[in-house]
Amino acid sequence: MSTYPGQQSAAAPKKTLTWIAIACFAIGLVLTAFFVVRIVQTAPRTPQPIEGGVVHLKKEGLTVYASVPVLTPPCEAKDAAGNDVPLKKPSGSENITINGETWYVVARSVDTVPAGDYSISCTDDETSATYAAGPKSSVVSFVVAILGTVFSFLIFVGLGIVLLSIDLIRRARHNRPTNTFPGPPGSYPPPGNYPPPGSYPPPGSYPPPGSYPPPGPVPPPNQTFPAPPPYNPGPNPDRPQDR
Q: Which pLDDT tens digits describe the chain residue by residue (243 residues)? A: 444 444 445 565 677 888 888 999 999 999 999 999 888 877 777 788 887 778 888 888 888 888 888 877 678 898 888 898 888 888 777 778 887 888 888 888 888 888 889 998 888 777 878 888 888 766 677 788 899 999 989 999 889 899 888 888 887 887 776 655 555 555 555 555 555 666 556 666 656 666 656 665 655 556 565 666 676 666 666 666 655
What pLDDT does residue 7 have?
A: 47
Q: Report DSSP letters for 58-108, one per residue.
A: SSS--EEEESS--SS--EEEE-TTS-B--EE--SS--EEEETTEEEEEEEE
DSSP state of 221: T
What pLDDT does residue 121 have?
A: 87
What is the C-alpha to C-alpha distance for residues 33 and 64, in angstroms, rounded to an integer?
31
What is the C-alpha to C-alpha distance for residues 98 and 47, in angstroms, rounded to an integer?
9
What is the greatest pairwise CA distance in the chain?
Answer: 155
Instruction: Check: pTM over 0.85? Answer yes or no.
Output: no
What pLDDT does residue 8 have?
A: 47
H-helix or E-strand containing 155?
Answer: none
What is the C-alpha to C-alpha distance for residues 15 and 218, in angstroms, rounded to an integer?
82
